Structure 1
């Protein structure tokens, strides 16, 4: 909701100030300027990024108005870890083999559809539970493996934000390109067109600069920052999973292991100790 309000404020402030200054909205309707700027930005974006990053940018941009990283989601992750670790502690690591080999058919994982929907997170949990069930890796070795994977995961999660930041950086320049092309058209008309027509073409050229700067700093720049926050929150959940599993591998009971994970979560939506305890009792 806050992001939608922010977009409305940008439009209302810029266009409202323009209209109140006796500006005409019709003068800003320049589809060819939009074609030049938007097409060039899209083409550069497609050239600069691999297909996987392009898909991620579009997927995450469409979801920018809502975030799944809320307290209920964090509680689901911690409850899942508690249930699976509790079962392995009571019945042995071999008892969870069926759960981690086919999470979709697992009675534990199936209780948490939001996590099952995230294939990467589900695979992350299952892979490390599989490693832990082998019993051949010391806790510090397991933590080292976690760190290496989280470092590569961070790079992957950061790609969409970086890609969008480069688009935002390029938009003012593409606006200038559109403006220069408009001036070229205007200069070619000197001596042939009336003064009013020349003024309209100069105005259209200046609109190109305006649109490039507005798009960069009013929309695509904030979108890049939003994608960056999303990446940090997603990585934070993986770090919480890591903390819980390493604590369990070190011999901590499930209730204490998930507490390690809870403390890693960002404070904004982190469940309290009592909320987590109540959720585990519900499990």
Structure 2
């Protein structure tokens, strides 16, 4: 076994045990490291994954874990993805380059673990942000999405007596307007293995719940407007179904004044530019 105190860029041991500790791959902002971790073996000790969480390490799996990510790295990854639009591929390539600038490909590839753990960590931080970290209950539809903080909201940013005089001509300032728009080129192909698609949320924030939305589409009545222009493809192709795609575009409803998306209003279009595709 190589000495773990070696100054080489990748002091990876040839064995899985070192000084009584299990050697694990630890991914941090400073690079990819191999260090021994000794778990508590006392009677009544917490499970290994819980022990890792308590010291700020996120396991890549819950069975025979060999790779962990530090909370600092996951926070940095999500921030770079949000502000710098850094993909998981480029982010992990940077970590490999930090670890071994000359030979980054010699560093273990934990890209797939990073994208899986990153999704889980983002979902957990969102649950904590909206107050569900310790409640033990699931959020209701749209409860994990902020509505426009500037638009009038009774009980939030309006005085208690805002509607005491219904005939007040200045009450117009308390009205809210909405606009619906869509992107009809953001098509999504069907997955080859749909069983591998694990949903962490279903209508909890800005997307509409899948089940009620499909029921709405089955019940929605579409009026066939007369065509006044033979070259207006948006009207001609509004009911066209694209084979091989489970979504032909994406649509959303936003507040008219500030353009902020409304919780529970973002939907995947199923057929062209149908008005009935928008949620009620």
TM-based fold match above 0.5? no
Task: Point out the structure with the larger strand share.
Answer: 2
TM-score range, shorter chain: under 0.3
TM-score, with length taken from structure 1 = 0.21
**TM superposition score normalised by structure 2:** 0.21
